[in-house]
Amino acid sequence: MTDERDIPDLSSELRASVIRLARRLRAEKADDGLTDGQTTVLGVLAVRGAQTLSQLSEIERVTLPSMNRTVNALVAAGYVERHPSTEDRRKVLLALSVDGTSIVRETRRRRDEWLSGRLETLTPMQRSALSEAAAVLQGLAAS
């Protein structure tokens, strides 16, 4: 059990571990030419569906000009398509193309495969601890 004086150390250790793991998982992507930001936008569109530039900018907490550059690169690569909104013709919706959907699926497959391979090397007790930790981490991330 961790007592109160151990919390700063645990925080530092956990932060460093999560960052290293996230960095390693980000390396497993289907198109090495994509930046992390571009890959993230593809993931957002895969999960949330078509979005406006403003919505993507808000979700990712970046400026509109920055998101516009990211989206333009994804459109040029053929991973994102622009469509007029059916509700408001002045708005443009950004959605995954067929190729964009394929890239997201392949990236997820590679990441899952990499992590599964690492999990297989752990003991059942270690996997059980990570299973419990996953729920706790999801709660931390949601708050």
Q: What's the domain range around 115?
A: 16-142
CA nearest to 130, candidates 122, 29, 25: 122
Residue 88 lies in a domain: yes
pLDDT grade for 66, boundaries at 50, 70 and 90? very high
Residue 134 lies in a domain: yes
Residue 51 lies in a domain: yes
Residue 105 lies in a domain: yes
Please, what is the end-to-end C-alpha distance for the chain in angstroms?
Answer: 23
For 26-62, how does the pLDDT look when each residue is reduced to its tens digit (9 = 90+)? 999 999 999 999 999 999 999 999 999 999 999 999 9
Residue 30 lies in a domain: yes
Task: Give the residue carrying structure tokens 């002045």.
Answer: 90
The model's pTM is: 0.84
Task: Give dist(CA 29, CA 110) in Å, integer.
Answer: 7
Distances in whole angstroms, Cα of residue 131 to Cα of each of 18, 71, 82, 125, 128: 15, 35, 40, 10, 5
Q: In total, how many domains does the chain have?
A: 1
CATH code of 106's domain: 1.10.10.10
DSSP string, 104-123: HHHHHHHHHHHHHHHHHTS-
Residue 2 lies in a domain: no
Residue 6 lies in a domain: no
Task: Give dist(CA 40, CA 36) in Å, integer.
Answer: 6
